[in-house]
Structure 1
């Protein structure tokens, strides 16, 4: 959410606010603070004491390695539904970038359920859990608007769907992180292996939504969801000479890795590439979900002036959007209306209704906070019922 015109501000004079120090935020902070120079860092969360201790752990770990950075702290509680306190804090801090990882429930929590319940509930996919990620983001974006500051918001909470849901109200963050970016290192290495080229000479561009991006690195295929992958060697597009399905398969076979909470390390690295780009003067190619309020994930050129799409050669924005909308349907999101209303597919919402008693076929923006509370309550009841 920024309309900045061309300008150049020294990096040390910029402020980066990291909101949320859970798994992902902590990994990202550890990377950001382990540098000799950079923007002023401010870390924030609901519990000031916990934030200070977690941030100090990253700071002292960096100091052990010879990087001595300081940071500021702030208390920001997004459950303040009026958003006035958050707005005042933002107005006081005036961050150039707000990087938020806030969510009411981490994506991997459902995976902690015992079998066969986990398998049963996993059939709902990720889409119906949208309120848990959208609610804190909605509250933050309302506070940003209320604060009157000009800042760039970078969001980690299901940007593929949360950003287009907020776009109609003019509340979408500029970009997201993770998802489409996470398969890229393995895909790039696999392409370089097949081409027998140094990996530094190979680049890839990927268009796809969350569903495929989580399956490509684990399964070596997209699970039936569409995606578009292009490969460059230097400045030459060599995609036509390659079998992209083979690249995907080899990325999982030869570059297998941990997922789950530990995999947050890779997501944090993708976040840092986006943040670095948005803090710099020169455009860099990065991959982001939900750029400019669009559904799904895309390659973009990013710098402090903003972002522009950098799609594979010959691909239109309409075609890229169609790939991503079809991908979101695999996750249970049938469509997102221009006013932000989210309509879920019948099958996926029925799984939620039957397994945890949560019946939400349609989610207007006005219902997001209440639906998030209900969903959290019903999931908690499910877990308590397990003894």
Structure 2
């Protein structure tokens, strides 16, 4: 069977590995990371735990530095994986809330996630260049802000196949709530959701959609039951007990493994996922060996679905993503970043993302040090 390549064995990557080794008859798993000793310990844990439960995974560690695009391309060509799952980033998304005083984090949060794109784009950009150089037609699942990163890379012909997480975190609970109300199996409930990362953030952080546009349709088998719910209240209820910060990473990883298995085993499963086909935000999709196919109900057009997510991304600090992949931030985002961090950029070009990432890391470090001294 075809192999799987996990690149980046941080917190989410480790959870993905732990879940994947407990899938019956899973193919060989390659794990690539720059930190050898730490990664080997995580592999040891995953493999030992799986064997305790009667699973016998084949795992091989590869020392991987995606900054070396040529060598990374050679590795991908050699192992020829069917699916690559990338959870690489220069700075984890939850660091801000963990390392800054609450009032400072709340002010920065108003800028949205867009200004932090250089951290999450740089390594995935290099990985996708390596995939293209390798000539291997692997399906890449990107965990790093796929609602925007996949769009940017798609503009230059480097789009990952799909993302994971974000609004997908609360879709299972939506289905569970509906199933309980109608006393049916969760399997009978289908959710058609068009929603951006900001919607998931708003519901988790503020218990409100915060005016974020979305589309939601709920079916029980062939029956449309959408009108039987106050959708705003339903979304809030589905997020009421959502773990916050790093504590949601297990669910994030489960979302990724779900997508991975659907592609690997050609299930054509109907699900929700962000960033399919280089599109902004997330959509209902069918996943198979062909990749991700957007699958919308008849009462919403493809153009309207894209428009919903383009409007929502403005709340996340992104005014526009141009045809060459250049990101234009909102004035609000630019102002907040300049006032709090002395860091200003209005536009982010792909060719500048690594340089901007270094500048952003330096400005952020200065901000953290400032509040440590107080």
TM-score category (smaller protein): over 0.9
Give secondary structure in 1 for the equivalent of 2:6: strand
Give secondary structure in 2 for the equivalent of 1:334: strand
- The partner residue of 1:333 within 312, 318, 322 is 318
Listed as ranges, the matches of 1:109-124 within 5 Å are 109-112=95-98, 113-124=100-111
Deviation, 1:180, is: 2.3
Report the equivalent of 1:4.
none
Deviation, 1:203, is: 1.9
| Cα distance in 2, alignment partners of residues 249 and 197 from structure 1 | 22
Deviation, 1:323, is: 0.8
TM-score normalized with structure 1 length:
0.92
Please give the per-residue CA displacement for 1:153-192, whole angstroms capped at 9, x wherever unaligned.
1100001001111112101111111112111012112222
Structure 2 residue runs without a partner (length 5+): none
Report the equivalent of 2:125.
138
| Cα distance in 1, alignment partners of residues 332 and 203 from structure 2 | 23
Please give the per-residue CA displacement for 1:273-326, whole angstroms capped at 9, x wherever unaligned.
100111013311121111000001111001112221112341111010011011
Mean Cα displacement is larger for which, 327-336 or 71-80? Answer: 71-80
Please give the per-residue CA displacement for 1:36-89, whole angstroms capped at 9, x wherever unaligned.
311211111002222221111111111222222121111111233xx1121111
Report the equivalent of 1:108.
94
- 8 Å CA contact retained: 1:333, 1:344: yes
- 8 Å CA contact retained: 1:333, 1:345: yes
- 8 Å CA contact retained: 1:205, 1:312: yes
| 1:227 aligned onto 2:235 | no
- 8 Å CA contact retained: 1:191, 1:247: no
TM-score normalized with structure 2 length:
0.95
Listed as ranges, the matches of 1:305-344 within 5 Å are 305-344=290-329
Deviation, 1:364, is: 1.3
- 8 Å CA contact retained: 1:201, 1:233: yes
Report the equivalent of 1:275.
260
- The partner residue of 1:372 within 349, 357, 370 is 357
- 8 Å CA contact retained: 2:262, 2:287: yes
Mean Cα displacement is larger for which, 32-41 or 129-138? Answer: 32-41
| Cα distance in 2, alignment partners of residues 181 and 312 from structure 1 | 18
Listed as ranges, the matches of 1:1-387 within 5 Å are 13-80=1-68, 83-112=69-98, 113-217=100-204, 219-253=206-240, 256-385=241-370, 386-387=372-373
Q: CA RMSD in A?
A: 1.5
